[in-house]
Amino acid sequence: MGPLVSLLLLLLTPAAVPGHGQVHVQSSRGDTGLVPALRLRTEQADNAAQYAGYQVLRVNVDSNGTLDLLRTYEDRPGVDFWTPISPLVPTVDVMVSPDVRSELTRRLKDSGGSYGVNIGNVQDAIVRQNPIPSPFYLELLEGRQGYQLTWKAYHRLAVHHQYMDYVEHEYRGLCSTFSIGISTEGRNVKGIRCGLGEREIWIDGGIHAREWISPAVVSYLVKDFSATSYKEQDILKAFTIYMIPVLNPDGYEYTHTGRRMWRKTRSRTPGSSCVGADPNRNFGYHWGEAGTSTNPCSDVYPGSRPFSEPETRGVRDFLLQHKNKMEMYISFHSYSQMLFVPYGHGTERPSDYDELLRVAQKGAAALQAAGGPAFRVGQASRLLYAASGGSDDWAKAKANIKYSFTFELRDKGFNGFLLPSSLIEQSGRETAAAVKAMIRAIL
Ligand code: 0X9
Ligand code: ZN
């Protein structure tokens, strides 16, 4: 093979397939989110076999018997509920190991239940989701455009941080970076503000680690509010928009290096070997009520107390300092294609619910007009399930932010958390249209 051919092959080789020993490309400005290459390699070797034989089933829950049967699988090894067991929804998506799969499907058949298969081979879907360009190509990109981030792949934390540094440098006077603190494992919870206005808006992504489309879309919003700013002059003159693409950096890195389906933070709970709390159950409004579990091993463990996590404390302190200026709070999650209006902890509604609904409906309409799918609009507690200690409810009730919303981005479960990276760009475009329509609705 000639040197030119080898170089071409290197440039084109997807290097980030789990188990293929991808070495993370260090941000040129340095970053606290880096993992030593050697450790990464070992972890990815573990990761390679982790989901072999796993499937995601969609179980029909039209009978109470099936709901009860599924409940017996909660917190069991080899079982991961991708959507909650809720009487409000007709189906539940659950990822199962090969052993659990045979047992659960047999028990479903025996009891007259039914199911379909959303993802027949989770390991394959993980590999297919994110064919990252080779490190050489990323370096080439950095040389050409000044940063490694693309909206064609899901990137590591350091690449997100590098992009914010780039935007700050390139759009001086319009955008600047900020930090709301340091995560449990010592990573920066970093954001960027863009805009010249007195009025303020908050946008966060990546509160749940495995919901990769969320940080990708928030970084798209950063691009939209900086690079194309001349088009958004009306918004940027009136508002300053604070954006944090990766609010849970430890969890996010762990989904790249350890377990792809990690949801929580990575804090240690005294007396338990289980790690992490659900940051979206950790906010101090109706903390520890509906939709939580006192079991530290549960994916909806709300932490030992409200704001036990440095990441949520960072949000709390920042938003309370900005209490009089912050007018809108938007948090990005996935998946189910919904746009939530408070409250989510229970079915009660704030007195200005209709006004919030008006703004959310403008967002959903704009999203569809931009070529996106239909998003259902309403309270999480009525459309999906009640869940307490959420950031959106706290922002509304305690930080006095009038317009508070949560997006559940694409898709509806066909890929779920494993949404292919080829859909990032469209997802970003349609979501940017929604966000801008919502902001213009309160201009
Ligand atoms: O359960 C959650 O935290 C969110 N759904 S997810 O599947 N991404 O985990 C929904 C949160 C909605 N807001 C409140 N319940 N407050
Ligand atoms: Zn989420």
Compute, in angstroms, the gap from residue 409 CA to the centroid of ligand 2.
10
165 and 201 part of one domain: yes
Residue type, 433: A
- Res 26 pLDDT > 50: no
- Res 36 pLDDT > 60: no
Tell me which ligand sits closest to the C-alpha of residue 82. Answer: 1
Cα–Cα nearest to 223, from 119, 150, 323: 150
Does the CB atom of residue 388 touch ligand 1 within 6 A? no
- Res 12 pLDDT > 80: no
Mean pLDDT of 288-310: 97
Mean pLDDT of 140-147: 96
Contact in structure between 247 and 330 (CB atoms under 8 Å)? no
Does the CB atom of residue 168 touch ligand 1 within 6 A? no
91 and 235 part of one domain: no
219 and 333 part of one domain: yes
Q: Residue 264: its pLDDT value, please?
A: 98
112 and 153 part of one domain: no
234 occurs within a structural domain: yes
Nearest atom within ligand 1 for CA of residue 263: 9
Cα–Cα nearest to 238, from 200, 193, 192, 191: 200
214 occurs within a structural domain: yes
Q: Which residue, by CA, sits nearest to atom 1 of ligand 1?
A: 387
pLDDT in tens, 47-103: 556 999 999 999 999 887 999 999 999 989 999 999 999 999 999 999 999 999 999
Which residue is it, tokens 């080779």? Answer: 134
206 and 293 part of one domain: yes
299 occurs within a structural domain: yes
Tell me which ligand sits closest to the C-alpha of residue 395. Answer: 1
279: domain CATH number is 3.40.630.10
Q: Residue 281: its pLDDT value, please?
A: 98
Contact in structure between 287 and 263 (CB atoms under 8 Å)? no
116 and 173 part of one domain: no
Distance CA 332, CA 230 (A): 25
Nearest atom within ligand 1 for CA of residue 83: 7
Alpha helix stretches (DSSP H) within 188-279: 213-226, 233-238, 249-257
Q: Residue 229: its pLDDT value, please?
A: 83
Distance CA 372, CA 367 (A): 5
115 and 153 part of one domain: no
82 and 215 part of one domain: no
Compute, in angstroms, the gap from residue 188 CA to the centroid of ligand 1.
24
Does the CB atom of residue 283 touch ligand 1 within 6 A? no
CA distances from 214 to 32, 38, 60, 265 (A): 21, 28, 27, 16
Which tops the pLDDT comparison, 43 or 303? Answer: 303
Number of domains within the chain: 2
Does the CB atom of residue 390 touch ligand 1 within 6 A? yes
Does the CB atom of residue 259 touch ligand 1 within 6 A? no
Nearest atom within ligand 1 for CA of residue 343: 16
Does the CB atom of residue 405 touch ligand 1 within 6 A? no
Does the CB atom of residue 387 touch ligand 1 within 6 A? yes
Compute, in angstroms, the gap from residue 205 CA to the centroid of ligand 2.
9
91: domain CATH number is 3.30.70.340
Nearest atom within ligand 1 for CA of residue 390: 16
How many Cα atoms within 13 Å fall on the side-chain side of residue 205? 27
Domain containing 185 equals: 148-440
210 occurs within a structural domain: yes
Pocket test for ligand 1, best of 88, 255, 333 (most atoms within 8 A of CB): 333
Residue 250, strand partner residues: none
pLDDT in tens, 380-408: 999 999 999 999 999 999 999 999 999 99
Does the CB atom of residue 410 touch ligand 1 within 6 A? no
Q: Which residue, by CA, sits nearest to atom 13 of ligand 1?
A: 344
Mean pLDDT of 161-167: 98
34 occurs within a structural domain: no
Residues with catalytic function = 408
Mean pLDDT of 257-278: 96
108 and 152 part of one domain: no
24 occurs within a structural domain: no
In angstroms and rounded to an integer, the radius of gyration of the C-alpha atoms of the chain is: 21
Q: Kindly report the average pLDDT of the chain as a whole number.
A: 90
- Res 439 pLDDT > 90: yes
Alpha helix stretches (DSSP H) within 36-176: 37-50, 64-71, 98-110, 122-129, 135-145, 157-170
